[in-house]
Amino acid sequence: MRTTFRIRSIGLLLGTTCGLAVHGAAFAQGSVTLYGILDNGITYTNNAGGHSTIMQQDGNNTGANGSRFGLRGTESLGGGLSSLFVLENGYTLPNGGLQQGGLLFGRQAYVGLSNSVGTLTLGRQYDSLADYVQPLSAAAQWGGYMMGHADEVDNIVDTNRLNNAIKFNTQRFGGVRFGGVYSLGGVAGDVTRNQVFALGADYANGPLALATAYLNARDPNYGFFGGNGNALTPSSVTSSGAPNTNNIGSTRPAFSGFASAGTEQIAAAAGAYAFGAARVGLIYSNVRFSNLGALAVSGTPTFSPGSSTSFNSVELNFKYQLTTSVLLGAAYNWVKGGSVTTASGKELGATYNQIAAGADYFFSKRTDVYAVGVYQHASGTDSTGQQAHASIDGLTPSSTSNQLALRVALRTRF
């Protein structure tokens, strides 16, 4: 249930108190919707940097949904054309602070036009992986942020948004929908610097759903991972004078060592089939970091010129609507990092195996309580050149090759 304010088509005559003489002004029918999600719970981790922890955490860290407050509006402009906007703020319930690096509308902020063909929007938005592939993931269906693949290497749970983005998605025709997004880099004199573009398509008809998407990010440390309010400029330096701190972050060792890449590419495909109350899905993604060392990023390994590496990821997910009030889910994810050798001769390449299970009980359409458990095992050498440690998305990495996380939370929507 949402609180909605409607502006009806009316003729408005401004009186003499305004000092204006007008015949009237007509306002088209439109609406503004206030909406939100509150997701808060207790997360247990058996090993976070060498210690077990029990923490109250907002859904944005380890939960099913990040807490948010938003405004969504539409207005009919006639002839089948409508204007629209979304302003969506992310916050954390335990302390009331802002998420997304402190941005006021860090989750989404865009304006656009829509008709029977499609929707064109401009602003801070999600990429095509989020629009097309992510809905078929365990993360979107029941698991949440802890379902990220190897520190969220393929952005399957929308960690990165795109600033300065122009997006177009078609309406669905015969079960098919497609679209793309282009994020301007914003660098004077070089239109391709820090740019990101993505394309995607999906098909939904009866029990079958299929999706695919591709993303290409130039200078990803800034154009892609630099989308939060605390992102650094290319000219920033550390306290010791070293160039550029890593925008991927030290809590993502699976791939943070590759922040110096000149280009990142993500290609993904997904499918799902429903039979009765059950649904099974499969997702494959390939992530490639090319031209390692193209950016001067402190704390990353040094690579030979032209080096590149990749990650292959496979997710198998399952959900079952046991009753109208009870949803059950399970998933397995395998991520294999490709071999790459540093300039000093050290070979990097890690493998991550992750299993998860969850249950969700709905008190009503608005309010539910859920429980999720995730176990991850890592092996090999991670992107930083260290022995790979388990690192479940949203948590401090383990001091060993294994990590277990359990979460119980209450969620409500309005």
362 contacts 349 by C-beta, under 8 angstroms: no
What CATH number has the domain bearing residue 17?
A: 2.40.160.10
Q: What is the pTM of this model?
A: 0.91
What separation in angstroms does the CA of 73 have from each of 19, 70, 121, 347, 413? 31, 10, 13, 52, 18
The full length of the chain comes to 414
**pLDDT of 231:** 77
Taking only the tens place, the pLDDT of each residue in 59-69 is 998 999 999 99
The Cα 223–Cα 197 span in angstroms is: 10
pLDDT at 28: 60
Q: Which of 10-14, 249-253, 351-355 is most confident?
A: 351-355
Residue 391 burial class via C-beta count within 10 angstroms: exposed 0-12, middle 13-18, buried 19 and up = buried
Say if CB 57 and CB 51 are below 8 A apart.
no
Min mean pLDDT across 3-12, 100-109, 126-135, 390-399 is at 3-12
Average confidence (pLDDT) over 1-29: 38
pLDDT higher than threshold 80 for residue 1: no
Q: End-to-end CA distance of the chain, in Å? A: 6
Domain that holds residue 66: 3-413
Instruction: Note whether 46 and 52 are within 8 A (CB).
Output: yes
> Residue 6: which pLDDT band, with cuts at 50, 70 and 90?
very low
* Tokens matching residue 263: 């280009």
For 20, counting Cβ atoms within 10 Å of its Cβ (0-12 exposed, 13-18 middle, 19+ buried), the class is exposed
CA angle 377, 283, 407 (to 5 degrees): 50
Q: What is the mean pLDDT of residues 120-131?
A: 98
The structural domain count of the chain equals 1
Residue 370's contacts (CB-CB under 8 Å, 6 or more residues apart) are 64, 142, 358, 359, 360, 361, 408, 409, 411
Mean pLDDT of all residues belonging to the chain: 91
For residue 174, the number of C-alpha atoms closer than 13 Å in the C-beta half-sphere is 0
Q: How far is 92 from 107, CA to CA, in rounded Å?
A: 12
* pLDDT of res. 242: 72
- When pLDDT is averaged across residues 367-377 and rounded to a whole number, the result is 98
- Which whole number is the average pLDDT over 176-200? 91
pLDDT of res. 190: 81
What pLDDT, on the 0 to 100 scale, is given for residue 20?
32
pLDDT of residue 23: 34
Rounded to an integer, what distance in angstroms lies between the CA atom of residue 277 and that of residue 322?
7
